């Protein structure tokens, strides 16, 4: 009953005209940005974050959440029509989605993805509102050792799951942690690694790092690609799937939805992994394996749903524990912090209006997304006609303005420049950039909890071995860290 009352309160706030406008605007921007290849949700949310400085915390979060959810569906549109994935999460949808387009079934592919996304988004929000308050209540009993173990678990999953090479994932994570040590040491009040730059006393602004690593480096990388796209010129009919199509896809949507939600909750795994896993499951259990890769509707419906539900699932650890599981939720964390709100277990009780308004807005955003996706596909694909150089120039200038607006300082702008170079090099070397951002956010929290734990135990590390929850989470963290080795050892043993 509490959940229902809270949800109604949330709807009360989200349906206020001004908030509704921001949700709709966020969805429209999100879907439009999702359509554009090379611009992902985290980049869009980071670059547009400064636009929310003058807004209320509610309007700000509703706007950014709208962009986040909208970008997830937008990516599928160009994947299906042009085989140009707007986002990495939608890459796998291109495999069968584009084949459906070639067979003249583009409308059906888009329609089933829109419906699947709506179902998945709604389900993940239901999980969020059911699990979130419970998790935050559990987390209230956590002391510094448990918090350290939880962050360790999150970081180990981020670094081990987010990359093709474990060494590179770990390097990215450690590099992010290293950056997190820059700034005033809160324990003893000593400036560390600031080299006399006063602006660095508060640490490296992770939004500036994120803008540099995602927006600047990606804008430059986009110049590597061809400057024009082949546009889909066929007829777009049958956006609403028939009953038979829905019946055929229902199982895939359900599997993708459940899988995506729970993978989304795991730090680091993210929507891309969920979509690829869903595709792999659908391909494996298909009764018509000859159709896989040649326009199998189930292989579009499953992954198309999984990526959307993963986006909702990723909000569970953010809102209940204050731990972002993906780079986009890290930016949302930054948005909350800019408005003086500290995400964590207390968020549900101290800022219940904000949390429940966000949850309610996700329902609204999902439904708006469905309408936008079915009614506005034709005009949305026209966005692709925007020339890459103009988009790149716009994003680069916007990155400068956005980072300057963080603290009205050129230091943040130069941080963007530095991390633009670092991000470009990392992407060229295939070192994942997401763990850097997440480790930069989680690093100071980890250090604080670690040192508080040692204060509690007079400097003894035994504090981490005597508390059951801490021990379980540390063991899980170690397992996830060494999972790739364990799997390869098992595979080697079988051979």
Torsion-angle region of 408 (φ positive above 0: left; ψ -120 to 50: alpha; else: beta): left
Stretch that binds other proteins, among 2-10, 235-243, 361-369, 400-408 (CB under 8 A): 400-408
Interface residue with other proteins among 431, 437, 438, 474 (CB under 8 A) is 431
Nearest distance from C-beta of residue 152 to other proteins, angstroms: 12
- Taking CB under 8 A as the binding criterion, the range among 126-134, 176-184, 241-249, 341-349 that sits at the site for other proteins is 176-184
Separation of alpha carbons 446 and 100, rounded Å: 47
Q: Which two tokens stand for residue 75?
A: 């990516």
Stretch that binds other proteins, among 60-68, 186-194, 304-312, 338-346 (CB under 8 A): 186-194
Contact set for other proteins, span 236-255 (CB under 8 A): none
- Footprint of other proteins on residues 64-103 (CB under 8 A)? 83-85, 88, 91-92, 94-95
Dihedral angle, C-alpha 119, 330, 70, 101, nearest 10 °: -80
Q: Is 190 in the site for other proteins (CB under 8 A)?
A: yes
Residue with tokens 């199982």, as numbered in its chain: 251
Q: Within 372-391, which residues bind other proteins (CB under 8 A)?
A: 387-390
Binding to other proteins, residues 31-60 (CB under 8 A): 37, 50-51, 53-54
Least distance from C-beta 147 to other proteins, angstroms?
Answer: 15
Please give the residues from 304 up to 333 whose contact with other proteins meets the rule CB under 8 A: none
Stretch that binds other proteins, among 56-64, 111-119, 172-180, 477-485 (CB under 8 A): 172-180
**Closest C-alpha to 43, from 228, 260, 227, 219:** 219
Say if residue 190 is exposed, middle or buried (CB neighbours under 10 Å; 0-12, 13-18, 19+): exposed
- Interaction with other proteins in 195-224: which residues (CB under 8 A)? 216, 219-221, 223-224
- What does residue 324 show for φ and ψ, rounded to 5 degrees? -75, 135
Residues facing 190 on adjacent strands: 185
Q: Are 71 and 31 in contact (CB under 8 A)?
A: yes
Contacts (CB under 8 A) with other proteins, residues 276-305: 276, 279-280
Closer of 249 and 388 to other proteins (Cβ): 388
- Cα torsion for 415, 66, 29, 40, to the nearest 10°? 50
The residues, ordered by sequence, that sit 6+ positions from 490 with a Cβ below 8 Å of its Cβ are: none
* N- to C-terminal Cα separation, the chain: 55
Maximum Cα interatomic distance, the chain, rounded to a whole number of Å: 72
Nearest distance, CB of residue 92 and other proteins, angstroms: 5
Report the residue number, 59 or 125, with the smaller CB distance to other proteins.
59
Region binding other proteins by CB under 8 A among candidate stretches 108-116, 132-140, 185-193, 324-332: 185-193
Query: With binding defined as CB under 8 A, does residue 401 bind other proteins?
Result: yes
Site for other proteins, residues 138 to 167, rule: CB under 8 A: 165, 167
């Amino acid at each position: 009953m509490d959940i229902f009352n809270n949800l109604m309160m949330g709807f009360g706030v989200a349906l206020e005209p001004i908030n509704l406008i921001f949700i709709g605007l966020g969805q429209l921007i999100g879907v439009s940005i999702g359509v554009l290849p090379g611009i992902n949700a985290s980049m869009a949310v980071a670059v547009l974050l400064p636009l929310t400085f003058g807004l209320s915390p509610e309007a700000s979060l509703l706007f950014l959440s709208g962009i986040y959810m909208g970008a997830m569906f937008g990516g599928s549109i160009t994947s299906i029509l042009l085989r140009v994935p707007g986002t990495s999460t939608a890459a796998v949808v291109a495999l069968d989605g584009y084949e459906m387009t070639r067979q003249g079934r583009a409308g059906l592919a888009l329609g089933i993805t829109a419906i699947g996304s709506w179902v998945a988004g709604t389900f993940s929000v239901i999980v969020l509102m059911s699990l979130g308050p419970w998790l935050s209540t559990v987390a209230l009993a956590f002391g510094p050792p448990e918090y350290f173990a939880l962050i360790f678990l999150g970081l180990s999953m981020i670094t081990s799951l987010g990359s093709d090479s474990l060494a590179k994932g770990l390097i990215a994570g450690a590099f992010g942690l290293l950056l997190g040590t820059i700034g005033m040491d809160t324990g003893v009040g000593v400036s560390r690694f600031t080299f006399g730059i006063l602006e660095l006393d508060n640490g490296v602004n992770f939004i500036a790092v994120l803008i540099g690593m995602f927006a600047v480096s990606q804008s430059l990388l986009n110049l590597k690609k061809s400057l024009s796209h082949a546009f889909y010129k066929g007829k777009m009919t049958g956006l609403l799937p028939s009953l038979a199509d829905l019946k055929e896809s229902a199982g895939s949507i359900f599997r993708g939805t459940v899988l995506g939600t729970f993978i989304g909750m795991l730090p680091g795994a993210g929507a891309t992994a969920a979509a690829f896993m869903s595709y792999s499951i659908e391909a494996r259990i298909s009764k018509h394996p000859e159709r896989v890769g040649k326009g199998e509707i189930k292989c579009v419906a499953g992954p198309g749903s999984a990526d959307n539900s993963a986006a909702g699932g990723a909000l569970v650890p953010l809102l209940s524990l204050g731990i972002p599981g993906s780079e986009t939720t890290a930016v949302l964390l930054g948005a909350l912090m800019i408005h003086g709100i500290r995400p964590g277990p207390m968020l549900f009780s101290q800022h219940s209006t904000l949390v429940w308004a966000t949850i309610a807005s996700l329902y609204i955003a999902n439904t708006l997304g469905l309408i936008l996706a079915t009614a506005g596909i034709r005009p949305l694909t026209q966005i692709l006609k925007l020339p890459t150089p103009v988009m790149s120039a716009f994003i680069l200038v916007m990155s400068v303005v956005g980072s300057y607006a963080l603290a009205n300082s050129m230091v943040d702008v130069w941080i963007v420049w530095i991390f633009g170079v670092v991000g470009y090099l990392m992407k060229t070397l295939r070192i994942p950039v997401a763990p850097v951002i997440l480790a930069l956010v989680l690093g100071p929290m980890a250090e604080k909890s670690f040192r508080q734990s040692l204060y509690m135990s007079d400097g003894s590390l035994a504090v981490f071995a005597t508390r059951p929850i801490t021990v379980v989470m540390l063991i899980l963290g170690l397992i996830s860290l060494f999972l790739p080795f364990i799997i390869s050892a098992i595979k080697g043993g079988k051979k």
